[in-house]
Each structure stands twice: as structure tokens, then as C-alpha cells.
Amino acid sequence: MSASLVWFRNDLRLADNPALHAACATGGKVALLYILDERAGAASRWWLHHSLAALGADIVARGGTLLLRRGDPARIIPALAAELGVSAVHAARAHEPFWRETDRALDAALKPLNIGLHRHLSTALFAPERITTKAGGLFGVYTPFSKACFAAGVPEMLLPAPKVIHGLEVASDRLEDWALLPAKPDWAGGMRAEWTPGEAGALARLETFLAGPVQLYAEARNLPAQPGTAKLSPHVHFGEISPRLVWHRAAASGQGQGVQTFLKELLWREFSLHLLWQHPEIRRSPIRPEFVRFPWADNAAALRAWQRGRTGIPIVDAGMRELWQTGWMHNRVRMICASFLVKHLLIPWQAGEAWFWDTLVDADEAANGASWQWVAGCGADAAPYFRIFNPVLQGLKFDPEGAYVRRFVPELAKLPAACIHTPWETDPAILAHAGVKLGGNYPRPVIDLATGRERALAAYQTLKDA
């Protein structure tokens, strides 16, 4: 009976893992391997450490061992497969250009050894070529794409976790030696308080969401002060829970409009993967080529103020501080913060994407790139550039009592709700009574909002004139 090798990537789970299931179904011994993705940002590396620790413990409980290596997969895997007498390598199918190129190199390296590389649909609901237009092409607009997904249907077959794993043991790196956790100063306290990485944590998060918040999801998902979102994105990104399992558990919960809205949000993730498949440079190059000529500003001080939540615009600062503290930001506030950066400050969207890549625990190549391009107006199915969020109006609408701002911008906590989103317009006596000193413990706005809006529209006009 031949042995197999399972190469884990963004599928760090045992349940509904097609690559693992296929390998274990042979009845032979299985080598379970993870190779470090060196491109991960700091927050993602923190999450990865704990996710691998959880996966390793789950594997040991079933009789196997998780092997850890770092380096080039196209060199490591063929050598390991030959050493262990492996006849097949199983992995999740990748959408990311880096991994697609790696897979091609790995396949070429395995063929002379007569070892097959088998890639399985594991990190998405549909294979990239599965959802097409009537003409057979790929979609560039979300709404018809989502309708096609609903019409196609998500297969309901969910694969059980193996009860026993007949593991193959070989020399492995020690997880601690990878130094994925922050050295001093330890900036991960807020993330430890917020998250439980791993498959068990993912299932618990899903069950909590479906037990209550999903009922009000259609409205509450826009209110950052309320626990109205699933907060499953990092778990799904690392593959601690399969998108297929999330889809079917949600669909079966019978929660009406909230579930339907949630399923459509899952399809936004799917659409981002669809776009990445078509546009491999989505993190770096605008999909709409005319935006290469956009007259962006070079303002390092403003970028730094935005990164640290010191722009003087309370809802923006609250979002950026939530990100810094917890490794996550509410989706509505992500749009507000991104719009402020690329439109009011005219800072290139790639700078924002890079900061999110380093600080988000759910930093995802497809979703991060596609979402920033959507806000910047240069992507597929993007919001038009002249749609400029007014952060004050957004704060008043979605955080009317200022509870979200009070949580993450505590120096403004004693301000009345009527003025917490506009401290620069507030009576000095009210500011003094609340302990707020503009330009002191809280900054003045880095830009006048009306001025920033007009400057953004003028910059956009240069593209139209060209």
C-alpha cells in the first residue's frame, strides 16, 4: 500500500479537507507537511503560529505528526517524497499567482519521480473555471457573478475529519524556531484577547454567530459598535474552516434575510478570488489601466498619521486603532478608512493595501487587493472614484452614539454624542470639560474634509481630460 504526502497551505484543518481525505482514503501512511509562507505579514505570522500549533495537536491526537519545513516547496517536497517512498502529493488548489507558479514548478519536479501532484478544491466554493458567463468568459461584475453562483449551487458533500492518521515521521523544524510571534515589545495582547486561532476556534465562532447575530446581520453588520458580524474571515483565510461548511451551516440555519445577506458576503470573497485568477497583479496594478496615470500625492506624514490612528477624524482613527490593537477592523469602517486615505489624502491605494497586509490577521491576497481597488475606483466592478465617503456623515449614521469611537479613541470618550465625530467644530468649553485638547492629546484634522474632497475630484478630472 503506497504512501501519500499532504501539503497544507491555507487549509489548516482536518474536517472537510479534500486533500487530507484523499490521502487518508488510500489506507496507506501519510506524511503531513507545512512549508512556511515567508510573505506573510506580522499579524498573519502571529495567527499562523497558533493555527499550526492547534493543527499539530489535532494531528497528534489522531496518531500523526505535522512536519514543518521552510524553503522552496519545489525542492523540499520532491526530496521528502523520494525519501519517504511517497507515490502521490495532495494539496489545495491555489488562486494566488505565487502558489500557481510554485505548483507548476513542483509538478515538473515530481514527474521524473513518477509522483503525481493532485490539487483539490478546498479554499473556495467553486473552481475558477466553474462560474462563467453565457459566452464562456469570466465575470467582471459582482451581481451577475453572484447570481451565477446561486444558480450553480454549492455541493453539499462535506468530508469528515479522519479518526486515525497513519503518519510518517521525519525530521521537522520546531515551530518556536520560526520566530513567528513578536519579540519585545509584545504587541499581540489585543489579538490574544480577541481571537482563538485553530479549527476549534473557527467552529466556535461560527456557532456563536449562527446562534444569534446572524438574525440581525443585514442591518447590524454596518454598526461597528455592535457584535453584528461573523468575524470568521481570518479562520476562513487560513482554512481552519472550509467555506463550503460555512455556507451550508448558514444556509441550514433558517435565519431569513440575515442568512441571505451573509451568503452574499461569502460570494464577495469568492468574487475576489475570481478577480485574482484573472488579474494576478491585483495587489499592485490597477485593473483599470488609466489609473496608472493618476496623480497621487506623496505625503509620508499623512500616511503615518493614518496608520497610527492620529488623523483627527474620529471614526477613521477608531478604525485604525482597532486594527492595530486586534488585527482586524470592522468592514464598514474599512471602507471609511480606505476612502479617506485614497481620496481625501490622495495617497496611493497600494500603500493602504501594504499596511493592511502587515496588520490584518485576515490579510488575504484576493480580498485585500480587490477591496482596495474597489474603494479606489480602479478595480473591476469598482465604486466610482467620485463616490467619496464623508467620514463624519458615516460616523453619524453608523456610530450615532459614538460608542465605537469611545472604545478605541478613549481621549474623546467624555464628549457628548452630538459632537464626538466633529471635535474640531466643538465649543472649546465642551472640549475642556471632556478633557480634550486639540493639537495636544488629540490631533486636529490632517486635512479639511471639503478641501480634500475637491482635490480628489480635481485629480480624477485629470484622468477624464486625458
Q: Which residues are catalytic?
A: 265, 268, 296, 331, 349, 372
Instruction: State the Cα–Cα distance between residues 441 and 436, nearest whole angstrom.
Output: 7
Which phi and psi (to 5°) does residue 106 adopt?
Answer: -65, -45
Instruction: State the Cα–Cα distance between residues 61 and 209, nearest whole angstrom.
Output: 28
> Measuring CA to CA, how many Å separate 223 from each of 364, 375, 417?
23, 19, 15
Residue 185's SS3 state is coil
Strand partners for 7: 33, 91
User: One-letter amino acid identity for 309?
Assistant: G
Instruction: State the Cα–Cα distance between residues 413 and 441, nearest whole angstrom.
Output: 12
Instruction: Assess whether the previous peptide bond of 185 is cis (omega < 30° from 0).
Output: yes
Which phi and psi (to 5°) does residue 443 adopt?
Answer: -75, 155
CA 84 to the chain's CA centroid: 35
Instruction: State the Cα–Cα distance between residues 83 and 71, nearest whole angstrom.
Output: 17
In eight-state DSSP terms, residue 6 is E
Cell numbers given for 62: 489522531
